[in-house]
A = this chain, B = another copy of it.
Amino acid sequence: MQELSNMKPSEIRMLFRQNQLTCPTAGMANGYTQANLVVLKKDLAFEFLLFCQRNPKPCPVLDVTEPGLPIPKLVAPEADLRTDLPKYRIYKHGQLAEEVTDILNYWEDDMVAFLLGCSFTFEQALVNNGISVRHIEEGRNVAMYKTNIPCVKAGPFEGPMVVSMRPIPEKDVVRAVQVTSRFPAVHGAPIHIGNPESIGIKDIEKPDFGDRVTIRAGEIPVFWACGVTPQAIAMHVKPELMITHAPGHMFITDLRDEQFGVL
């Protein structure tokens, strides 16, 4: 079989559709943008879209489907969001009910799917600029923390922003800001540099989600808005049914990371 890193997004999606592959997508179809998935019923879709609109750093919208239509026309017009991710999570009234490899049995006529930008894109940009990403080096999940920064409310959707942290060598901090600022559609510039306490993080050694990573001498903790935010907040609303990708099992779009670069 061809290397997964060199395959086209459509080829990999076909493997997911046929259930020939069910694993995390990091490193697949290199250079192509991966996305978080959130599926809600239409009665919540307007307020959720408004929430994303008001909180573009944690919730950068790449595509929203027409109600009932599982096709992301802007980012992968030949894909079917019901089958083309490796693994999904079904949440009922805010509780994880099941993990499945397709959502054909759950899809309804009034469902709207949201694809939100993911940090893989800007991490690749950091690496391309010679700035190593610690949790990739250490083979761990990124460290994520709840903050005291409130998101801007929309309808029932409200709560604190979740951030991811990457330790950056002092000499590279400015460049890390510049590099990630180029990608506002995938979380963009950091939201905080340097002092975890001032954004409500009491113990940097104890992330709320993901894994602890090593912070070395001469490194500054840099914080980016995290795509876990909208899922965490949607969960609080306890919708009758919400579907997301399983952690790390993202949707692979047809667009290349560089297409999201501004200047």
Contacts and interface: CB of A to CB of B under 8 A. Distances in A.
A139 interface: no
CB-based closest 8 A-B pairs: A46-B46, A181-B263, A49-B49, A50-B64, A53-B61, A45-B46, A262-B262, A53-B64
Interface string A139-169: 0000000000000101100000000000000
Nearest to A152: B74
A184 interface: yes
A184 B74 contact: no
Contacts of A74: 54, 152
Contacts of A46: 42, 45-46, 49
Size class of the contact patch on chain A = 20 to 34
Contacts of A53: 49, 53, 61, 64
A178 B53 CA distance: 25
Contacts of A152: 73-74
A211 interface: no
A64 B155 CA distance: 12
Interface string A172-193: 0000001001101000000000
Contacts of A154: 66
A166 B207 CA distance: 51
A42 B45 CA distance: 12
Contacts of A181: 262-263
